Amino acid sequence: MKPNDKLTGKHAKWILASFFTWTFDLYDLFSILLVTPYIAGLFFPSKVALLSIAATYAGFLTSFLMRPVGAVYFGNNIADKLGRKKAIVYGIIGLAITATLQGSLPTYEAAGIVAPISLIILRLAEGFFVGGITAGSHTIGPESVPERHRGWVGGIGFSAAGAAYLIASAWFYLTALLFPGSSYLVWGWRVMFFGGLLPLAVLGFVSYLVPESEMWQRAKEKLKPVKTPVRELFSSRYRRLFGIALMITAGWALMYYLTQGLFPTFLSKVNGLSKAEIGITMLIASLGMLIGPALGGEISQHIGRKLMSIIGGVIVIAISPLYLYLGSLPAGAVSEIILATFLISLLSDFGGGIVMVYLNELYPTNIRGTGVAFTWNTGFAIGGASPTIISLILAEMGGVSRFPMLMFLALIFTAAIILIGSILTRETKGSISKELELMEKEG
């Protein structure tokens, strides 16, 4: 290893800032996915259970609609002009407030239409702050570490979703034990949302211990500032790159929500598992989500982001029959269900480990905060629609019996999107180092 490739304590702080900020950022997003089968009737009552679930997923989707807006605002006005740290700090404060308030909402029975409207308003506000956080959290780690380590650092940035799911699943399992049966519908789901205070644990660390990104500081001194970074994304210079990057990001986002996002409902409605069994299953599955993207990110450091994404798309096609197998397992086959969900979680986002570092390498430092956050959040807004769409299709088709086949076909479709975007994109590995070398020469 070259001397300038060694990680220092400063690098470790940047890596941890990216990882833990995104982990606790995602906790609340996963909380609503885990409790959806149980709170659907509390906020969106319907005689057709799948329609209640679809409406709850639609409430979940509203937060994604605001994420690109938050990305643009924070990217333009904070991350690219005032620094990555400020974007993280301001975003976390807003996230903690809006996420926790959801646990105090009245139900439809108590407040009527006010209940679902209040939920949607809070999720819109939360989405705005989540989008803003990514302008800092998704750049401060990948852009700051030595070239040799960018692959796995970007990979664990993506796998932070696995850590978030691990925490959310553990908390879901605990609340299922503490509030069994009908008591879960009174207090259990509320305690899940009160976990929205967890991101505050990262706030002090980032504020006082993490230095500002040196890459951003150098760019501020050396590069010409861009007045409106988001407008630059749609210029002739970046328009095609942005479009392809959005396709790749949306593809891997779809892959994520078709697996991790829909697992709780699938395991409940198709396999008939209890809340505690779902909690244990998702705990183990989240370990796969932690390992897969990090390993894929490291491999991409050797073979390139483009080839790794293509290989990942092929793997998605190869594992798609696992959903048919999972759908055939009865509630008593818990061990087999756990193994199948673990394998899907491990392999489904193997290629997704390139997304964060790929986006960082695609855009120059003076528009990176906006470019990464806007592309990421727009792609995940598209991917986040999949649980709602799948639920509506199932309701139209007459029930959950078609769930396994629908998921099998959805994975094939998603793999096609990933492969097309990956083939069209250019290789980005090494571009941050080249930009840094250029700035040093000019300095």
Within a domain: 2: no
The C-alpha atoms of residue 421 and residue 251 are separated, in whole angstroms, by 8
Give residue 252's identity as a one-letter amino acid code: W
Q: Which has the minimum average pLDDT: 39-48, 111-120, 154-163, 413-422?
A: 39-48
Say how many C-beta atoms besides its own lie within 10 A of residue 261's C-beta: 24
State the helix-helix crossing angle for 114-140 and 355-362, rounded to 10 degrees.
Answer: 70
| pLDDT tens, position by position, 404-413 | 898 999 999 9
Choose from 221-235, 288-302, 385-399 the range with maximum mean pLDDT. 288-302
Closest to 7 in 3D by CA, of 108, 205, 175, 153: 153
pLDDT of res. 28: 73
**Which residue reads 């994520």 in tokens?**
256
Within a domain: 434: yes
> With contact defined as beta carbons under 8 Å apart, do 283 and 170 qualify?
yes
Beta-carbon contacts of residue 382 (< 8 Å; ≥ 6 apart): 250, 253, 254
Domain with 113 in it: what CATH number? 1.20.1250.20
pLDDT above 80 for 103 = yes
Rama region for 182: left / alpha / beta (φ>0; ψ in -120 to 50; rest): alpha
pLDDT of res. 291: 92
pLDDT of res. 3: 52
The C-alpha atoms of residue 426 and residue 119 are separated, in whole angstroms, by 41
| pLDDT tens, position by position, 310-343 | 999 999 999 999 999 999 999 889 999 999 999 9
Q: Residue 93 burial (CB < 10 Å; 0-12/13-18/19+)?
A: middle
Number of domains composing the chain: 1
pLDDT of res. 111: 87
Within a domain: 223: no
pLDDT above 70 for 50 = no
Within a domain: 222: no
pLDDT above 90 for 55 = no
Within a domain: 393: yes
The C-alpha atoms of residue 35 and residue 49 are separated, in whole angstroms, by 14
The domain of 292 spans 7-211+228-442
pLDDT of res. 398: 67
Within a domain: 237: yes
**Which residue reads 């392809």 in tokens?**
244
Closest to 135 in 3D by CA, of 18, 236, 223: 18
Within a domain: 232: yes
| pLDDT tens, position by position, 183-241 | 888 888 898 888 888 888 888 888 888 999 988 888 888 777 788 888 888 998 899 99
Within a domain: 177: yes
